[in-house]
Amino acid sequence: MKLKTTVALALTGILISGGASANQLWSNFSVSYLKGSDYEVGDNKRQVVTFEHASGHSWGDTFLFIDRSVSDDSTRETYFEFGPRVSLNYLTGLDLSVGPVKDVLLAGQWEGKSDKFGGFDNFLFGVGMKLDVPGFSYVNANVYHVNNGNKDSDEQLSVSFAAPFSVGSAEFLYDGFIDWSTSASDHASEMNFTSQLKWNAGKLLGSKAPVYVGVEYAYWNNKFGINGVDERNPSLLLKWHF
């Protein structure tokens, strides 16, 4: 059985077994809209709609997002990431927390893209940590081995974070991720630091759930592993939570 088939079946099994035997603690769904004009690789002007879902369970957590982008030259692209993590605290029945590390998790991820050129599927597996950092609502870190569909395998470090803050009665959120991957014979090392600074306009609209207005900034070195292709892309952001 091929590695990517094995990983896909494992991820499906995690969700089925987790949903059947453990409680969901929380979940969040959002839809966002981005408009930017400094993209690299392909047309530089694009609009992106993102569907995002995250959930926490007694057995671990899941994260899913789907990007649908349309470029000014009418190029259309769909990209997604699905990442479940399984808690070792839950699997062992022990409290493995120490210092800022609240849990260690088995981490997997499936990345896929579809466009007029074909697309790819990447499968990641490794270990993660759930961290307790003052001032942050969450900080997660994962280290993966990456089985890339269209290029040589490599390793990746991923860190995601969210830091809410207020200025007077106005509520803000600064969140994002940092992905760093190693080089291989057919691609350069990458570093993608994408973050969002946004203001909750939902309070003015009488919405209990956040409705964010803000900006996203992508700072991406060697995009897609292409040596010397560096993206510095600010985008207008609108984001609705449900």
- Checking if the pLDDT of 7 tops 70, the result is no
**What CA–CA distance (Å, rounded) separates 14 from 28?**
20
pLDDT recorded at residue 119: 87
Farthest-apart Cα atoms in the chain, separation:
58
Q: How confident is the model at residue 1 (pLDDT cuts 50, 70, 90)?
A: very low
Instruction: Give the type of residue at 145.
Output: H
pLDDT recorded at residue 33: 98
pLDDT recorded at residue 22: 61
**Token pair for residue 208?**
């209990």
Average pLDDT over residues 32-47: 96
Helix (H) or strand (E) holding 39: none
pLDDT recorded at residue 196: 98
Q: What is the pLDDT of residues 123-157, one digit of tens each?
A: 999 999 999 999 999 999 999 999 999 999 999 99
**What CA–CA distance (Å, rounded) separates 228 from 222?**
5
The sign of the torsion formed by the CA atoms of 204, 28, 157, 2 equals negative
- Checking if the pLDDT of 8 tops 60, the result is no
Q: What is the pLDDT of residues 63-84, one digit of tens each?
A: 999 999 999 999 999 999 999 9
Average pLDDT over residues 34-62: 96
**What CA–CA distance (Å, rounded) separates 202 from 212?**
7
Identify the structural domains of the chain with CATH numbers, from first to last.
3-241 (2.40.230.20)
Q: What is the pLDDT of residues 169-228, one digit of tens each?
A: 999 999 999 999 999 999 999 999 999 999 999 989 889 899 999 999 999 999 999 999
The sign of the torsion formed by the CA atoms of 218, 181, 176, 86 equals positive
**What CA–CA distance (Å, rounded) separates 216 from 140?**
20
Give the CA radius of gyration of the chain: 18
- Checking if the pLDDT of 9 tops 70, the result is no
